Amino acid sequence: MNEKIKSIFNKTYNYNPKRVYFSPGRVNIIGGHTDYNGGFVLPFCIDLGISAAVSKRKDRIINVYSANLPKRGIISFSLDHLEYKKSRNFANYVSGMLYELNARKFDIKFGFDLAISGNLPRGGGLSSSAALLVLIAKIASDLNNLHLDGLKMALISKTVENKYIGVSCGIMDQFVIANGIKGKAIYLNSSNYDYEYVSVDTKNFNMVLINSNETRKLTESKYNVRQKETADALKILQKHLDITYLCDLSIDDFKNNIKFINNKTLKKRVEHVVYENHRVALAKTALEHNDFETLGKLLVEAHMSARNLYEISSAKLDQLVKIALSCGSLGSKMIGGGFGGSTLNIVKATELKTFISNFSIEYKRIYHSDPIITIVKPTMGVSEIK
Ligand code: GLA
Protein backbone atom coordinates (compact mmCIF):
# COMPACT_ATOMS: atom_id res chain seq x y z
CA MET A 1 0.00 0.00 0.00
CA ASN A 2 2.84 2.29 1.02
CA GLU A 3 4.90 1.59 -2.10
CA LYS A 4 1.88 1.80 -4.38
CA ILE A 5 0.90 5.31 -3.30
CA LYS A 6 4.54 6.46 -3.40
CA SER A 7 4.82 5.26 -6.96
CA ILE A 8 1.51 6.93 -7.94
CA PHE A 9 2.87 10.17 -6.49
CA ASN A 10 6.16 9.79 -8.32
CA LYS A 11 4.45 9.12 -11.65
CA THR A 12 2.21 12.17 -11.14
CA TYR A 13 4.76 14.73 -9.95
CA ASN A 14 8.10 13.28 -11.13
CA TYR A 15 9.70 13.25 -7.69
CA ASN A 16 9.37 11.21 -4.49
CA PRO A 17 6.87 12.20 -1.79
CA LYS A 18 8.05 13.27 1.66
CA ARG A 19 5.25 11.73 3.73
CA VAL A 20 2.69 8.92 3.46
CA TYR A 21 -0.65 8.64 5.29
CA PHE A 22 -3.62 6.33 5.65
CA SER A 23 -7.14 7.42 6.59
CA PRO A 24 -9.69 4.65 7.18
CA GLY A 25 -13.40 4.31 6.53
CA ARG A 26 -15.70 3.38 9.38
CA VAL A 27 -18.47 1.02 10.36
CA ASN A 28 -21.01 1.93 13.03
CA ILE A 29 -22.11 -1.17 14.96
CA ILE A 30 -25.23 0.56 16.24
CA GLY A 31 -26.56 4.08 16.89
CA GLY A 32 -28.03 5.12 13.56
CA HIS A 33 -28.82 8.84 13.29
CA THR A 34 -28.36 9.41 17.01
CA ASP A 35 -25.19 11.50 16.61
CA TYR A 36 -26.89 14.70 15.46
CA ASN A 37 -29.45 14.19 18.22
CA GLY A 38 -26.96 14.24 21.10
CA GLY A 39 -26.91 10.46 21.50
CA PHE A 40 -24.50 7.53 21.68
CA VAL A 41 -22.80 5.70 18.80
CA LEU A 42 -20.51 2.66 18.63
CA PRO A 43 -18.30 2.89 15.51
CA PHE A 44 -14.87 1.52 14.60
CA CYS A 45 -12.35 2.23 11.83
CA ILE A 46 -11.84 -0.41 9.14
CA ASP A 47 -8.82 -1.30 7.06
CA LEU A 48 -10.34 0.00 3.85
CA GLY A 49 -9.66 3.67 3.32
CA ILE A 50 -7.59 6.30 1.57
CA SER A 51 -3.81 6.16 1.14
CA ALA A 52 -2.05 9.45 0.53
CA ALA A 53 1.43 10.66 -0.40
CA VAL A 54 2.27 14.32 0.04
CA SER A 55 5.07 16.91 -0.12
CA LYS A 56 5.01 20.51 0.96
CA ARG A 57 5.57 23.13 -1.76
CA LYS A 58 7.44 26.42 -1.61
CA ASP A 59 4.54 28.40 -3.13
CA ARG A 60 0.80 28.65 -2.35
CA ILE A 61 -0.41 26.08 -4.91
CA ILE A 62 -2.36 22.96 -3.91
CA ASN A 63 -2.21 20.07 -6.38
CA VAL A 64 -4.52 17.11 -5.89
CA TYR A 65 -4.49 13.86 -7.86
CA SER A 66 -6.70 10.83 -7.25
CA ALA A 67 -5.73 7.48 -8.73
CA ASN A 68 -9.43 6.60 -8.56
CA LEU A 69 -10.29 9.40 -11.00
CA PRO A 70 -7.29 9.45 -13.35
CA LYS A 71 -9.24 11.22 -16.12
CA ARG A 72 -9.52 14.31 -13.95
CA GLY A 73 -5.74 14.62 -13.85
CA ILE A 74 -4.19 17.01 -11.36
CA ILE A 75 -6.68 19.47 -9.85
CA SER A 76 -4.90 22.72 -8.93
CA PHE A 77 -5.91 25.75 -6.94
CA SER A 78 -4.29 28.42 -4.83
CA LEU A 79 -4.47 28.89 -1.07
CA ASP A 80 -5.84 32.34 -1.93
CA HIS A 81 -8.92 30.91 -3.74
CA LEU A 82 -10.47 28.29 -1.52
CA GLU A 83 -14.16 29.00 -2.13
CA TYR A 84 -16.41 26.03 -3.11
CA LYS A 85 -16.37 25.28 -6.85
CA LYS A 86 -18.53 22.59 -8.41
CA SER A 87 -15.90 21.93 -11.09
CA ARG A 88 -13.37 21.07 -8.41
CA ASN A 89 -15.36 17.91 -7.70
CA PHE A 90 -13.94 15.73 -4.87
CA ALA A 91 -11.08 18.22 -4.37
CA ASN A 92 -13.67 20.47 -2.68
CA TYR A 93 -13.04 18.36 0.41
CA VAL A 94 -9.41 19.49 0.25
CA SER A 95 -10.15 23.17 -0.42
CA GLY A 96 -12.98 23.07 2.15
CA MET A 97 -10.67 21.88 4.91
CA LEU A 98 -8.08 24.54 4.06
CA TYR A 99 -10.83 27.18 3.84
CA GLU A 100 -12.06 26.29 7.32
CA LEU A 101 -8.53 26.23 8.78
CA ASN A 102 -8.00 29.71 7.34
CA ALA A 103 -11.32 30.89 8.78
CA ARG A 104 -10.13 29.64 12.18
CA LYS A 105 -6.94 31.68 11.80
CA PHE A 106 -4.55 28.77 11.42
CA ASP A 107 -1.57 30.02 9.50
CA ILE A 108 -1.20 27.97 6.31
CA LYS A 109 1.51 29.62 4.23
CA PHE A 110 2.54 26.93 1.75
CA GLY A 111 0.72 24.58 -0.58
CA PHE A 112 1.35 20.88 -1.22
CA ASP A 113 1.38 18.20 -3.89
CA LEU A 114 -0.97 15.38 -2.95
CA ALA A 115 -1.75 11.99 -4.48
CA ILE A 116 -4.48 9.78 -3.06
CA SER A 117 -5.78 6.32 -3.79
CA GLY A 118 -8.77 4.78 -2.08
CA ASN A 119 -10.37 1.37 -1.82
CA LEU A 120 -13.59 2.44 -0.10
CA PRO A 121 -16.50 1.76 -2.41
CA ARG A 122 -18.12 5.11 -3.27
CA GLY A 123 -21.51 5.40 -1.65
CA GLY A 124 -20.81 2.16 0.24
CA GLY A 125 -21.88 3.86 3.46
CA LEU A 126 -18.34 3.59 4.84
CA SER A 127 -17.73 7.33 5.04
CA SER A 128 -15.25 8.07 2.29
CA SER A 129 -15.96 11.81 2.70
CA ALA A 130 -15.04 11.90 6.40
CA ALA A 131 -11.94 9.79 5.64
CA LEU A 132 -10.83 12.41 3.11
CA LEU A 133 -11.60 15.41 5.32
CA VAL A 134 -9.81 14.03 8.38
CA LEU A 135 -6.89 13.02 6.16
CA ILE A 136 -6.50 16.61 4.95
CA ALA A 137 -6.85 17.95 8.51
CA LYS A 138 -4.03 15.63 9.62
CA ILE A 139 -1.79 16.51 6.66
CA ALA A 140 -2.37 20.26 7.06
CA SER A 141 -1.71 19.96 10.78
CA ASP A 142 1.54 18.01 10.30
CA LEU A 143 2.90 20.15 7.44
CA ASN A 144 2.20 23.39 9.30
CA ASN A 145 2.84 22.29 12.90
CA LEU A 146 -0.72 23.10 13.95
CA HIS A 147 -0.77 20.28 16.56
CA LEU A 148 -4.48 19.56 16.02
CA ASP A 149 -5.66 16.78 18.32
CA GLY A 150 -8.26 14.16 17.36
CA LEU A 151 -11.25 16.12 18.65
CA LYS A 152 -10.19 19.33 16.91
CA MET A 153 -9.64 17.51 13.59
CA ALA A 154 -13.06 15.88 13.93
CA LEU A 155 -14.86 19.12 14.78
CA ILE A 156 -13.27 21.06 11.94
CA SER A 157 -14.04 18.23 9.49
CA LYS A 158 -17.66 18.21 10.63
CA THR A 159 -17.94 21.97 10.08
CA VAL A 160 -16.62 21.56 6.52
CA GLU A 161 -19.13 18.80 5.82
CA ASN A 162 -22.01 20.84 7.33
CA LYS A 163 -21.25 24.29 5.92
CA TYR A 164 -19.02 23.86 2.87
CA ILE A 165 -20.27 20.57 1.43
CA GLY A 166 -23.84 20.94 2.73
CA VAL A 167 -24.53 17.68 4.57
CA SER A 168 -26.04 18.18 8.06
CA CYS A 169 -24.18 15.18 9.47
CA GLY A 170 -23.20 14.54 13.07
CA ILE A 171 -19.73 14.03 14.54
CA MET A 172 -19.51 10.23 14.52
CA ASP A 173 -17.58 9.52 11.33
CA GLN A 174 -15.00 12.27 11.72
CA PHE A 175 -14.54 11.47 15.41
CA VAL A 176 -13.83 7.77 14.98
CA ILE A 177 -11.57 8.33 11.98
CA ALA A 178 -9.54 10.85 13.98
CA ASN A 179 -9.42 8.79 17.20
CA GLY A 180 -9.78 5.11 16.29
CA ILE A 181 -7.42 2.47 17.66
CA LYS A 182 -6.72 -1.11 16.65
CA GLY A 183 -9.03 -3.78 18.03
CA LYS A 184 -11.49 -1.32 19.59
CA ALA A 185 -14.79 0.32 18.85
CA ILE A 186 -15.50 3.77 20.31
CA TYR A 187 -18.50 4.31 22.59
CA LEU A 188 -19.02 8.01 21.99
CA ASN A 189 -21.42 10.42 23.64
CA SER A 190 -22.00 12.86 20.82
CA SER A 191 -23.45 15.53 23.13
CA ASN A 192 -20.18 16.16 24.98
CA TYR A 193 -17.59 14.01 23.11
CA ASP A 194 -16.87 11.80 26.14
CA TYR A 195 -15.79 8.43 24.90
CA GLU A 196 -14.56 4.99 25.89
CA TYR A 197 -12.78 2.34 23.85
CA VAL A 198 -14.50 -1.06 23.81
CA SER A 199 -12.66 -4.22 22.70
CA VAL A 200 -14.16 -6.18 19.83
CA ASP A 201 -13.59 -9.94 19.86
CA THR A 202 -12.75 -10.61 16.23
CA LYS A 203 -11.27 -14.04 16.99
CA ASN A 204 -14.53 -15.80 17.67
CA PHE A 205 -16.84 -13.52 15.74
CA ASN A 206 -16.61 -11.84 12.37
CA MET A 207 -17.90 -8.45 11.37
CA VAL A 208 -18.97 -9.00 7.77
CA LEU A 209 -19.87 -6.16 5.42
CA ILE A 210 -22.11 -6.71 2.44
CA ASN A 211 -22.29 -3.91 -0.08
CA SER A 212 -25.73 -3.31 -1.58
CA ASN A 213 -23.98 -1.69 -4.52
CA GLU A 214 -26.72 0.91 -4.49
CA THR A 215 -24.68 4.07 -4.50
CA ARG A 216 -26.14 7.25 -3.14
CA LYS A 217 -24.70 10.55 -2.13
CA LEU A 218 -25.70 11.93 1.25
CA THR A 219 -26.35 15.33 -0.29
CA GLU A 220 -28.85 13.78 -2.69
CA SER A 221 -30.45 11.46 -0.20
CA LYS A 222 -33.01 12.39 2.40
CA TYR A 223 -30.35 12.65 5.08
CA ASN A 224 -30.82 16.40 5.58
CA VAL A 225 -34.58 15.91 5.63
CA ARG A 226 -34.27 13.48 8.55
CA GLN A 227 -31.98 15.90 10.36
CA LYS A 228 -34.57 18.65 9.95
CA GLU A 229 -37.46 16.43 11.04
CA THR A 230 -35.71 15.60 14.30
CA ALA A 231 -34.79 19.27 14.85
CA ASP A 232 -38.47 20.20 14.34
CA ALA A 233 -39.62 17.49 16.76
CA LEU A 234 -37.10 18.73 19.32
CA LYS A 235 -38.46 22.27 19.08
CA ILE A 236 -41.99 21.05 19.80
CA LEU A 237 -40.88 19.01 22.81
CA GLN A 238 -38.74 21.83 24.17
CA LYS A 239 -41.94 23.83 24.72
CA HIS A 240 -42.85 21.25 27.37
CA LEU A 241 -39.55 19.79 28.53
CA ASP A 242 -36.15 21.05 29.56
CA ILE A 243 -34.06 19.13 27.01
CA THR A 244 -31.18 20.08 24.72
CA TYR A 245 -31.31 17.03 22.45
CA LEU A 246 -33.86 14.35 21.58
CA CYS A 247 -31.48 11.82 23.13
CA ASP A 248 -31.94 13.52 26.51
CA LEU A 249 -35.29 11.70 26.57
CA SER A 250 -35.43 8.41 28.46
CA ILE A 251 -37.88 5.80 27.21
CA ASP A 252 -40.31 6.85 29.98
CA ASP A 253 -39.94 10.53 29.03
CA PHE A 254 -40.74 9.51 25.47
CA LYS A 255 -43.87 7.58 26.49
CA ASN A 256 -45.11 10.42 28.70
CA ASN A 257 -44.48 13.26 26.28
CA ILE A 258 -44.88 11.97 22.74
CA LYS A 259 -48.53 13.16 22.97
CA PHE A 260 -47.23 16.71 22.43
CA ILE A 261 -46.30 15.82 18.85
CA ASN A 262 -49.27 15.48 16.52
CA ASN A 263 -47.47 14.78 13.29
CA LYS A 264 -47.31 10.99 12.75
CA THR A 265 -44.03 11.12 10.83
CA LEU A 266 -42.26 13.16 13.49
CA LYS A 267 -43.54 10.77 16.18
CA LYS A 268 -41.91 7.87 14.34
CA ARG A 269 -38.61 9.72 13.96
CA VAL A 270 -38.47 10.49 17.69
CA GLU A 271 -39.36 6.93 18.61
CA HIS A 272 -36.49 5.63 16.50
CA VAL A 273 -33.95 8.04 17.96
CA VAL A 274 -34.91 7.43 21.62
CA TYR A 275 -35.01 3.62 21.42
CA GLU A 276 -31.92 3.47 19.20
CA ASN A 277 -29.98 5.51 21.72
CA HIS A 278 -31.05 3.07 24.44
CA ARG A 279 -29.93 0.14 22.25
CA VAL A 280 -26.42 1.57 21.93
CA ALA A 281 -25.88 1.33 25.69
CA LEU A 282 -27.19 -2.27 25.69
CA ALA A 283 -24.96 -3.10 22.72
CA LYS A 284 -21.89 -1.72 24.48
CA THR A 285 -22.56 -3.99 27.49
CA ALA A 286 -23.13 -6.96 25.18
CA LEU A 287 -19.85 -6.26 23.38
CA GLU A 288 -17.99 -5.98 26.69
CA HIS A 289 -19.29 -9.42 27.69
CA ASN A 290 -18.66 -10.96 24.28
CA ASP A 291 -22.38 -11.63 24.17
CA PHE A 292 -22.75 -11.56 20.42
CA GLU A 293 -26.16 -13.27 20.51
CA THR A 294 -27.61 -10.26 22.34
CA LEU A 295 -25.64 -7.88 20.16
CA GLY A 296 -27.03 -9.59 17.06
CA LYS A 297 -30.62 -9.21 18.28
CA LEU A 298 -30.02 -5.51 18.95
CA LEU A 299 -28.69 -5.10 15.42
CA VAL A 300 -31.84 -6.63 13.98
CA GLU A 301 -34.04 -4.37 16.14
CA ALA A 302 -31.98 -1.39 14.96
CA HIS A 303 -32.48 -2.37 11.34
CA MET A 304 -36.24 -2.78 11.77
CA SER A 305 -36.41 0.62 13.42
CA ALA A 306 -34.35 2.22 10.64
CA ARG A 307 -36.73 0.64 8.13
CA ASN A 308 -40.11 1.19 9.77
CA LEU A 309 -39.68 4.29 11.93
CA TYR A 310 -36.83 6.28 10.41
CA GLU A 311 -37.60 5.05 6.87
CA ILE A 312 -34.03 5.13 5.59
CA SER A 313 -33.64 1.56 4.35
CA SER A 314 -34.14 0.26 0.82
CA ALA A 315 -35.71 -2.88 -0.63
CA LYS A 316 -32.27 -4.27 -1.37
CA LEU A 317 -30.86 -3.56 2.12
CA ASP A 318 -33.92 -5.27 3.63
CA GLN A 319 -33.39 -8.23 1.35
CA LEU A 320 -29.69 -8.47 2.31
CA VAL A 321 -30.64 -8.51 5.99
CA LYS A 322 -33.26 -11.17 5.36
CA ILE A 323 -30.86 -13.43 3.44
CA ALA A 324 -28.10 -12.96 6.04
CA LEU A 325 -30.39 -13.97 8.91
CA SER A 326 -31.62 -17.01 7.00
CA CYS A 327 -27.97 -18.01 6.41
CA GLY A 328 -27.07 -18.02 10.10
CA SER A 329 -25.89 -14.47 10.79
CA LEU A 330 -26.44 -13.58 14.47
CA GLY A 331 -27.48 -10.08 13.49
CA SER A 332 -27.67 -7.87 10.44
CA LYS A 333 -28.45 -4.22 9.80
CA MET A 334 -27.90 -1.40 7.36
CA ILE A 335 -25.16 1.02 8.34
CA GLY A 336 -24.43 4.66 7.63
CA GLY A 337 -26.73 7.37 6.34
CA GLY A 338 -29.14 4.96 4.65
CA PHE A 339 -30.86 4.70 1.25
CA GLY A 340 -28.14 2.31 0.05
CA GLY A 341 -24.64 1.52 1.24
CA SER A 342 -23.79 -1.65 3.14
CA THR A 343 -25.09 -4.01 5.79
CA LEU A 344 -23.10 -5.16 8.81
CA ASN A 345 -23.46 -8.80 9.77
CA ILE A 346 -22.20 -10.68 12.81
CA VAL A 347 -21.12 -14.21 12.05
CA LYS A 348 -19.53 -16.80 14.35
CA ALA A 349 -15.97 -17.58 13.21
CA THR A 350 -16.76 -21.28 13.08
CA GLU A 351 -19.66 -20.60 10.71
CA LEU A 352 -18.08 -18.04 8.44
CA LYS A 353 -17.35 -20.34 5.50
CA THR A 354 -20.84 -21.82 5.46
CA PHE A 355 -22.36 -18.36 5.84
CA ILE A 356 -20.46 -16.93 2.89
CA SER A 357 -21.21 -19.88 0.66
CA ASN A 358 -24.94 -20.04 1.51
CA PHE A 359 -25.31 -16.27 1.30
CA SER A 360 -23.60 -16.17 -2.08
CA ILE A 361 -25.86 -18.88 -3.53
CA GLU A 362 -29.02 -17.09 -2.41
CA TYR A 363 -27.74 -13.68 -3.52
CA LYS A 364 -26.82 -15.00 -6.95
CA ARG A 365 -30.21 -16.63 -7.33
CA ILE A 366 -31.94 -13.28 -6.69
CA TYR A 367 -29.52 -10.72 -8.20
CA HIS A 368 -27.69 -12.82 -10.85
CA SER A 369 -24.28 -11.63 -9.69
CA ASP A 370 -21.81 -12.31 -6.88
CA PRO A 371 -22.20 -10.41 -3.62
CA ILE A 372 -19.48 -8.00 -2.45
CA ILE A 373 -18.49 -9.39 0.95
CA THR A 374 -15.71 -7.94 3.12
CA ILE A 375 -14.59 -9.04 6.58
CA VAL A 376 -13.57 -6.01 8.65
CA LYS A 377 -11.65 -5.57 11.89
CA PRO A 378 -11.26 -2.44 14.02
CA THR A 379 -8.13 -0.59 12.94
CA MET A 380 -6.21 2.54 13.77
CA GLY A 381 -7.58 5.97 12.82
CA VAL A 382 -5.85 8.45 10.51
CA SER A 383 -2.07 8.17 10.76
CA GLU A 384 1.22 8.85 9.10
CA ILE A 385 2.89 5.68 7.82
CA LYS A 386 6.58 5.86 8.65
C1 GLA B 1 -23.70 9.44 8.19
C2 GLA B 1 -23.33 10.72 8.95
C3 GLA B 1 -23.16 10.44 10.45
C4 GLA B 1 -24.33 9.67 11.03
C5 GLA B 1 -24.70 8.49 10.13
C6 GLA B 1 -26.00 7.83 10.58
O7 GLA B 1 -22.64 8.55 8.22
O8 GLA B 1 -22.14 11.27 8.43
O9 GLA B 1 -22.93 11.64 11.14
O10 GLA B 1 -25.41 10.53 11.23
O11 GLA B 1 -24.85 8.85 8.78
O12 GLA B 1 -25.86 7.27 11.81
Q: Which atom of ligand 1 is nearest to the CA of 218?
A: 1
pLDDT of residue 220: 62
Q: Answer for the pair 30, 172: CB distance below 8 angstroms, yes or no.
A: no
Mean pLDDT of 130-148: 98
Percent of the chain with pLDDT over 70: 98
3-state secondary structure of 265: helix
pLDDT of residue 218: 61
Alpha helices in the chain (DSSP H): 2-13, 92-103, 128-143, 150-159, 172-179, 223-238, 251-257, 264-288, 292-308, 315-326, 352-367
- pLDDT tens column, 333-369: 999 999 889 999 999 999 999 999 999 999 999 999 9
pLDDT of residue 138: 98
Query: At 154, which amino acid appears?
Result: A
Helix or strand run (H / E) with residue 343: strand 342-348
pLDDT of residue 381: 98
pLDDT of residue 150: 98
pLDDT of residue 122: 67
* Closest by Cα among 301, 297, 298, 285 to 199: 285
pLDDT of residue 363: 98
Q: Which atom of ligand 1 is nearest to the CA of 223?
A: 11
Cβ–ligand 1 distance for 138 under 6 Å, the answer no
Gap between the Cα atoms of 270 and 238, Å rounded: 13
Taking 80 as the threshold, does the pLDDT of residue 217 lie above it? no
Phi, psi of 341 (to 5 degrees): 90, -145
Calculate how far, in angstroms, residue 99's C-alpha sits from the geometric centre of ligand 1: 23
Cβ–ligand 1 distance for 36 under 6 Å, the answer yes
Gap between the Cα atoms of 161 and 174, Å rounded: 10
- pLDDT tens column, 80-108: 999 999 999 999 999 999 999 999 999 89
**Mean pLDDT over the full length of the chain:** 96
Mean pLDDT of 184-200: 98
- Residues 276-288 as b/e (b if ≥16 CB within 10 A, e otherwise) read bbbbbebbbebbe
Entry pTM: 0.97
In the annotation, is 173 catalytic?
A: yes
Calculate how far, in angstroms, residue 167's C-alpha sits from the geometric centre of ligand 1: 10
Cβ–ligand 1 distance for 121 under 6 Å, the answer no
Q: Answer for the pair 346, 300: CB distance below 8 angstroms, yes or no.
A: no
Taking 80 as the threshold, does the pLDDT of residue 288 lie above it? yes
